[in-house]
Amino acid sequence: MILKKLIQLPLLLMCLNMVACQSQQTATPLFPTYTCLKTTAPIILDGKLDEADWQNAQITEPKTLFSPKTPVDIPSTKVRFLWDDDNLYVAFECQDLDVFSYSDQHDAQLWRGDVSEIFLKPSPDKNHYYEFVIAPNGTLYDAQYPSRGAGSMHRFKKWSSNAKIVSQIQGTDNNWHDDDQGYIIEMAIPKSAFKDSGSFKAGDQWTYGACRYDYGKDHEKQLLIMTMPEAPHSGYHYYENYFPIVFKEK
């Protein structure tokens, strides 16, 4: 009996080691959770972010360089979220020495110039997600996708979120002869925009990706910056690595 147990013990240890290795390989990566607080007073869209709620909001910063692959200095980007019974609020503060808005036409290919982007995925069990692309001049491209493989932007950009945006540029837009400081974007997305996936409420957890395109007179290539630690495929649409965002009341 003792001999039998001695034989079984190494086999048991080997099985436990295999299970541990598999768990390490398949474990879901732990990403920082953003706590999106409910506002305590009305938010006035003016591109200033001077309300107390904005000042108290948590800050998340896209710091991963998706492109180019060679190391470069990454400009500062501060992103904040808030919510109330009617809207989801998003704010960007972007350092940018050469502000460049590609177009002032809604749903144009704004990423041919500087943009800030928010991707929102309400459910981990469904492929449905949303994209909001904002140029420094406040122009918006918005789309909702039932899945990544459902079709291109030309099919889904017809949808409109009816989001309201105010931007402030510290410098001059589309003038590379001077040095700019950057730009601020303040956006209110109506709760009704998310009716196809279920609107947010206190206690809900979604996931998000915050990203930028930054063109500049000193860049050899445009900078693509994101919160996600990596995007093996699908670029900014790689929602497997979006960060959690939890809606919370004060």
**pLDDT, tens digit, for every residue of 59-78?**
999 999 999 988 889 999 99
Q: Does residue 16 sit within a domain? A: no
User: Which has the closest alpha carbon to 224: 206, 212, 208?
Assistant: 212
Q: Does residue 9 sit within a domain? A: no
* pLDDT for the residue numbered 9: 40
Can you tell me the mean pLDDT for 95-104? 98
Distance (Å, whole) CA 241 – CA 28: 10
Instruction: Tokens 């704004």: give the residue.
Output: 110
- Beta bridge pairs of residue 115: 213
Q: Which of the residue ranges 12-21, 106-115, 148-157 has the most confident prediction, judged by mean pLDDT? A: 106-115
Q: What angle do CA 171, 175, 177 make, to 5 degrees?
A: 95
Number of independent structural domains in the chain = 1
Cα dihedral 34, 37, 43, 48 sign: negative
Q: Does residue 206 sit within a domain? A: yes
* pLDDT for the residue numbered 156: 84
Share in percent of the chain as helix, strand, coil (round to 5): 20, 30, 50
Distance (Å, whole) CA 206 – CA 202: 11
pLDDT digit string (tens) for 192-250? Answer: 999 998 889 999 999 999 999 999 999 989 999 999 999 888 899 999 999 999 999 97
Q: Does residue 24 sit within a domain? A: no
Q: Does residue 128 sit within a domain? A: yes
More confident residue, 224 or 154: 224
Q: Does residue 176 sit within a domain? A: yes
User: Does the pLDDT of residue 56 top 50, yes or no?
Assistant: yes
Identify whether the C-beta of residue 158 lies closer than 8 Å to the C-beta of residue 144.
no
User: Does the pLDDT of residue 133 top 70, yes or no?
Assistant: yes
Lowest-confidence segment of 14-23, 29-38, 93-102 by average pLDDT? 14-23
* pLDDT for the residue numbered 14: 43
Q: What's the DSSP call for residue 73?
A: P
* pLDDT for the residue numbered 203: 95
* Tokens at 169, concatenated: 């540029």
* pLDDT for the residue numbered 29: 56
Identify whether the C-beta of residue 224 lies closer than 8 Å to the C-beta of residue 66.
yes
User: Does the pLDDT of residue 163 top 70, yes or no?
Assistant: yes
* Tokens at 102, concatenated: 């590609």
Q: Does residue 10 sit within a domain? A: no
Entry pTM: 0.87
Q: How far is CA 201 from the centre of its chain?
A: 19
- Which is it for strands 243-248 and 34-38: parallel, antiparallel or unpaired? parallel
More confident residue, 219 or 118: 118
User: Does the pLDDT of residue 101 top 90, yes or no?
Assistant: yes
Q: What are phi and psi of 66, to 5 degrees?
A: -75, -35
Q: Does residue 6 sit within a domain? A: no
* Tokens at 31, concatenated: 């990403």
CATH of the domain at 210: 2.60.40.1190
Domain of residue 78, residue span = 34-248
